[in-house]
Chains A and B, each alone.
Chain A
Amino acid sequence: MIEHFHRPRTVREALALKRRLQGRATFLAGGTRLNSSESGPPPEHFISLEGLGLDRIETKRGQVVIGALCTLQAVLEDRRVPAALKAAVAQVASRNVRNAATIGGHIASNLPWSDVIPMLVALEAKLGLARPGGAATIAVADYVARRPPGLITRIVVARPAAGRLTACRNARASANARSIVSAAVSLALSRQVVRQPVVALGGVAEHVQRLTAVEAALEGKPLPSSDEIQALVGRSVRAREALSGSAAFRTYQAGAVVALALRDAARGREARA
């Protein structure tokens, strides 16, 4: 039962409130996840982040710095945001949700089926994390795996290097359903040989993960056929049974979306839903 709604004006105030209230309080950004009836019981205190001024997008030294409180729609509409990230955000199907959900809140929710986190991982994006002891920077992939305490203040995305190819794909049961699996890839092609691939997948584990075994198998070789990629992914993931499908079905879908995303990237086709 929510009994208190706090409106700190600075990050320092927000952190102090959280430190004082500990597990009885939760940071609130857009609220599309925390306020949903699908979420568990609400906390006693909400600490609203709206007044912290974290809703700007800037460019600094070739990097795009996105304030954690920017809505997904604001990210989608900003011309400075890399097209690859916009394509991933566009996969969040409901415009109503994109108008309210924030990118920081989306990452903090750490949903296994996220359509945005795989691309942030593929782009090797970093998070600015405010903590009582001081600020820290952490890779998105590490954040979702380890969930360190702290408040996400910004997302830093380097502009993709020249020749870097990215794409994302997902599989879902209906247009507005959550993804069953969602993949994002990034790679370079040098004389048709794959270099430095990054393959990120959501929907098969507790959080989005990099498929490092798949990346190692792709490195330094021509892109394998879709069937070979599918088999490779099938050997690398251990999908769990879920309402959205059996382990075998989800493993099959994982292989399919990774293969499609790699094919799109290799063809230079920007990510699509």
Chain B
Amino acid sequence: MKIAVRVNGVPREFEVRPGERVRDLLRREQILSVRNGCDGQGSCGACSILLDGRTVNSCLLLAPQIDGKKIHTVEHLAPNRELSAIQTAFIDAGVVQCGYCTPALLLATEALLARHAQPTRDQVRDAFSGIFCRCTGYEQMFAAVELAARRLADPEHAPPAVPEFRDDLRLVGKMNRKVDGPRLVRG
């Protein structure tokens, strides 16, 4: 059967099987930022997408259920390879480790900041409640959202300064972005 969906702002048509998961459809279409972390149980949220602006697990949706709707994946945050304020905030706050759930967290942050420009900690906790992050620190997630909120209001907003040490080394003890951070936040 055929479905029509607006994917990251672009109208698309797909030929799908009635029982095909949206996660599988998107990965078939080379949108690989939509991950498989729980084999379709719906417990990890790594396959999150925005469906009409709300975060949902794409593994729990069948392709016919998104017919006529708008979906967004993390690819829409950096369409011209230039990172968005939310993506740079995640790198600067040190929330990007393995990067597996990072696209889901970024989309949840985007949806959260669209609802609340300055969210409370409870609102942050609720926004991330469906996403299971296995490796990143938890406190840093609050810092990342706060930094993203400030940076959306002021694109030049810099992360808090931290003391540097070991002048004899170029990278150790210096404020450097994680080397593969930009690649990971692009999904």
Contact = CB atoms under 8 A, between A and B. Distances in A.
Nearest to B53: A99
Nearest to A73: B54
Contacts of A100: 51, 56-57, 60-61
Interface in B95-114: 108
B142 to A, nearest CB: 15
A50 B42 CA distance: 20
B41 A96 contact: no
A97 B57 contact: yes
Nearest to B1: A5
B62 interface: yes
A48 interface: yes
Nearest to A101: B60
B42 A97 contact: yes
B137 to A, nearest CB: 16
B39 to A, nearest CB: 6
Interface string B101-144: 00000001000000000000000001101111000000000000
A36 B57 CA distance: 10
Interface size class of A (residues with CB under 8 A): 20 to 34
Contacts of A63: none
Interface residues of B, number: 30
Interface in A55-108: 73, 93-97, 99-100
A5 B129 contact: no
Contacts of A48: 64-65
A84 to B, nearest CB: 19
B76 interface: no
Given A32-B42, A36-B41, A42-B19, A99 B54 contact: yes
Contacts of A175: 129
B19 A96 contact: no
Contacts of B17: 2
Contacts of B126: 95
B37 interface: no
Interface of B: 1, 17-19, 21, 39-43, 45, 48, 51, 54-57, 59-62, 64-65, 108, 126-127, 129-132
Given A94-B42, A100-B56, 17 more contacts: A3-B19, A4-B18, A5-B18, A28-B65, A35-B59, A35-B60, A36-B60, A37-B59, A46-B18, A48-B64, A73-B54, A95-B126, A95-B127, A96-B48, A100-B57, A176-B130, A176-B132
12 contacts: A4-B18, A31-B60, A31-B62, A31-B65, A35-B21, A36-B40, A36-B42, A46-B18, A93-B129, A99-B54, A99-B56, A100-B56
